[in-house]
Structure 1
Amino acid sequence: MKPISYGRQSIAQEDIDAVVETLKSEYLTQGPQIKEFEEKFAKYVDTKYAVAVANGTVALHLCAMALDVQPGDKWLTTPITFAASANCIKYCGGEIEFVDIDPETYCIDIDKIEQKLISAPAGTYKGIIPVDFAGYPVDIEKIYAVAKKYDLKIIEDACHAPGGYFIDSKEINQKCGNSRFADLAIFSFHPVKHIATGEGGMVTTNDKELYDKLCLYRTHGITKDENLMDENHGGWYYEMVELGYNYRLSDMQAALGISQLKRAAEGVSQRQKIADSYTKAFSEIEEIQTPVVPKNVSHAYHLYVIQVDDRKGLYEHLREAKIFSQVHYIPVHTMPYYKKQGWKKGDMPVAEAYYKKCLSLPMFPTLSNEEQQYVINKVIEFVSK
């Protein structure tokens, strides 16, 4: 059996052809593929606007800029996420505080969000960054209700969940990252994600003003829009009206993204089938805790996370069998940088308990039945000892 990683990109001949065609075209960057990718992705997640950017971290930073995060502003997020979900607020000089997770969904605990808000003076917090962890759609409708009560902004980190959705209180399917209940949402196109462009990301919104800000900030804060400029010397003229960055995606990456997007729904469906096979195989084994997914949720399964008591033992057992599982995530508040900010072990007991047992098994659409059965057998072999 060849080595099996926890995640793997799927590159088809049509993807290669799309990139080659772009390489032969007039534009390698800042060309027509960008706009096409944005429009097709916006349609896929059911939102008005999408802005393609260099990666998911950039997407988060641009969101913080667009929402005018200022030094000292306090935002909330989950400790079980990649560090960028928290770091984006720090980039703008703001402060991040963590809220513990729900023990079943592994997403931020909505009740604990409100408890934190109730106990603080009015106006203490400016916003929330919930994460659709592992592909599980956080109940952004409930978070929105809390945020509206306390006048908070929302950035939904949907990097794990394009194609996932939940059914809201009005029985409507709400796709992850559609920004119906958030100011902005972000996605990543890292190779292990649902859509791979090498590196890359996307910001989605239904707010035209925020969309315009994002477009400006991703390109150095430079514009040729006469409505934004002080002067206009001719067709060559441009002005830098804000401090922005070079956060653009290339046309080659966009071409790959457009091609990958054609198979995105099929990929989610295959991930769900793989997850069902794992869950069925482990359902009668008390030593293995599998994901809990209620009927009103369609999990996108970027990750398939189990919990076992001897996580390190299982990790090493699988590694010996050339199965490269992974841990998602080390709680962000326990990282040395955030410990210097005053956070410590014991502050997020549910997240820390989860971390001690969690392990992400191989999950990607091209995982074969034979490979998956091999993984299942090796997991059961270990826990049965």
Structure 2
Amino acid sequence: MTQNPELRTHQKPIPYGRQYITEDDIQAVVETLQSDYLTQGPKVAQFEEAFAKYVGAKYAVACANGTAALHLCTLALGVGEQSRVITTPITFVASANCVRYCGGTVEFCDIDPATALLDVEKVRQLVESKPKGYYSGIIPVDFAGNPVNLEAFRQLADEHGLWLIEDAAHSPGGSFIDSQGEKQRCGNGRYADLSIFSFHPVKHIATGEGGMVTTNDEALYQKLLLYRTHGITRDPELLEENHGGWYMEMQELGYNYRIPDMLCALGLSQLQRAEAGLARRRGIAKVYDRAFSSVVGIQTLKTTPAAMHEEETGHAYHLYVIRVEDRKGLYDYLREHKILAQVHYIPAHTMPYYRGLGYREGDFPAAEHYYEECLSLPMYPSLTQEEQKFVIEKVIEFVQR
């Protein structure tokens, strides 16, 4: 592969991810800025309705960010000091922290080395090692955009009376095929009690900051609405008293997790391009796959099939992760050439906070070994073919030297 001299000497840094903002996006925000509502206005409900339709869920609740979405889920499910919740160590720490916010106990479980997803069989072993009722729920993560098999987790959860929160922050538009051969879209509420999404700039749909919870459970939906806005309701049908049109009641201890109308306007505009962006991400992944398939020393993560054909994927490709023996060396080498690859993630149980709760290195060997080798390469719709070619060239150059 011939190196492009212009890229070598003059290229701008190539990040692992970046937002893509169009003139339509800007105009949508400007129109909202010029409207009567900057927050608590009609764009919030419009974004919720459009997003629920996109993933195939009955209800959606927009909020301040993905972490707030996770916290709202644990609040709605009644997580408290007696709750023990299982999740993966290979995730952003918010997937675990939401349990701690409510005073619950986090128990990590190891990953499947082939996919880096929470291993359902290891979770089963953990659950069945304790008396029934010991655990409250499970938070599987669609890591990198690769959907977990929620049907398998639902079966386990039903056997032991557990709830499921799907952390789908990486996978809007992603899907997997269930045992009946049906496509199940991430966040559609078919198997998870609640699912969350993030609209951080590097995600598929960027609002700056923002999050969404989806569900098919009306009772949980009403709780999410209440906790999102200080625990306050103005709904006449829910009020214990009613003093007049001004009256409202704080019925629970909630939070200010609202999202402004300007951000929802941006989200609505971005959502119109979601499928095109997803197709582009999958196209970039195919180019990486072909380039690395026969290179000794580079491993890619196994993808969950989304159809009966192995070639058709439901992977949403928030990240494209490779594994190499000298990860630190490759990371530094790429940065020397202005390729800003990133590491996802430092295992959560090795963070000082969780070490302080009793976790130690060596607890989850598959997750820790994965961390020693993983590197996320540039993956975003506006990545050019020339830029991707340069990234591939430098990765292979380092591995083969």
What's the TM-score, normalizing by structure 1?
A: 0.99
Q: Distance in 1 between matches of 2:188 and 2:137?
A: 18
| Counterpart among 165, 168, 176 of residue 178 in structure 2 | 168
**Residues 53-88 of structure 1, C-alpha deviation per residue, up to 9 Å, x if partnerless?**
000000000000000001131000000000000000
Matching residue of 2:126: 116
1:337 to 2:353 alignment: yes
| Counterpart among 241, 244, 257 of residue 254 in structure 2 | 244
Contact 1:131 1:156 in 2 (8 A): yes
**Residues 105-152 of structure 1, C-alpha deviation per residue, up to 9 Å, x if partnerless?**
111000001100111111110000000000000000000000000000
Contact 1:100 1:112 in 2 (8 A): yes
One-letter code aligned to 1:355 = Y
Matching residue of 2:264: 254
Matching residue of 1:181: 191
Q: Distance in 2 between matches of 1:149 and 1:118?
A: 10
1:307 to 2:317 alignment: no
| Counterpart among 190, 203, 206 of residue 213 in structure 2 | 203
| Counterpart among 94, 97, 113 of residue 103 in structure 1 | 113
Cα deviation for residue 36 of structure 1 reads: 0.4
Matching residue of 1:324: 340
Q: Distance in 1 between matches of 2:77 and 2:158?
A: 15
Contact 1:136 1:298 in 2 (8 A): yes
Q: Distance in 1 between matches of 2:86 and 2:188?
A: 21
Matching residue of 1:374: 390
Contact 2:304 2:315 in 1 (8 A): no
| SS of 2:197 mapped into structure 1 | strand
| Counterpart among 58, 71, 79 of residue 69 in structure 1 | 79
Cα deviation for residue 174 of structure 1 reads: 0.3
Q: Distance in 1 between matches of 2:140 and 2:147?
A: 10
Q: Distance in 2 between matches of 1:37 and 1:203?
A: 12
One-letter code aligned to 1:5 = P
**Residues 271-292 of structure 1, C-alpha deviation per residue, up to 9 Å, x if partnerless?**
0000000010111101000122
| Counterpart among 47, 51, 63 of residue 37 in structure 1 | 47
Cα deviation for residue 228 of structure 1 reads: 2.2
| Counterpart among 295, 301, 304 of residue 291 in structure 1 | 301
Q: Distance in 1 between matches of 2:391 and 2:122?
A: 36
Contact 1:42 1:204 in 2 (8 A): yes
Contact 2:176 2:304 in 1 (8 A): no
Cα deviation for residue 294 of structure 1 reads: 4.5
**Residues 283-306 of structure 1, C-alpha deviation per residue, up to 9 Å, x if partnerless?**
110100012225334100000000
Q: Distance in 1 between matches of 2:301 and 2:342?
A: 16
One-letter code aligned to 2:180 = K
| SS of 2:375 mapped into structure 1 | strand
One-letter code aligned to 2:13 = P
Matching residue of 2:3: none
Q: Distance in 2 between matches of 1:337 and 1:294?
A: 32
The runs of 4+ residues in structure 1 deviating greater than 6 Å are: none
Matching residue of 1:364: 380
| Counterpart among 221, 227, 231 of residue 217 in structure 1 | 227
Q: Distance in 1 between matches of 2:303 and 2:247?
A: 54
Contact 1:228 1:241 in 2 (8 A): no
In the superposition, relative to structure 1, how do residues 234 and 294 fare at CA in structure 2: closer, same or farther (>3 Å)? closer
| Counterpart among 94, 97, 113 of residue 87 in structure 1 | 97
**Residues 191-249 of structure 1, C-alpha deviation per residue, up to 9 Å, x if partnerless?**
00000000000000000000000001100111112232221111111111111111001
Q: Distance in 1 between matches of 2:83 and 2:241?
A: 35
| SS of 1:155 mapped into structure 2 | strand
One-letter code aligned to 1:228 = L
1:158 to 2:168 alignment: yes
Structure 2 unmatched runs, 5+? 1-10, 307-312
**Residues 312-334 of structure 1, C-alpha deviation per residue, up to 9 Å, x if partnerless?**
00000000000000000000000
Q: How big is the alpha-carbon RMSD for the aligned residues of Structure 1 and Structure 2?
A: 0.7
Contact 1:66 1:210 in 2 (8 A): yes
Matching residue of 1:263: 273
Q: Distance in 1 between matches of 2:296 and 2:305?
A: 23
Aligned pairs, number = 385
| SS of 1:328 mapped into structure 2 | coil
With 290-299 and 117-126 compared, the bigger mean Cα shift is at 290-299
Q: Distance in 1 between matches of 2:234 and 2:31?
A: 29
One-letter code aligned to 2:326 = D
1:145 to 2:145 alignment: no
Q: Distance in 1 between matches of 2:115 and 2:322?
A: 12
Structure 1 unmatched runs, 5+? none
| SS of 1:125 mapped into structure 2 | coil
One-letter code aligned to 1:336 = P
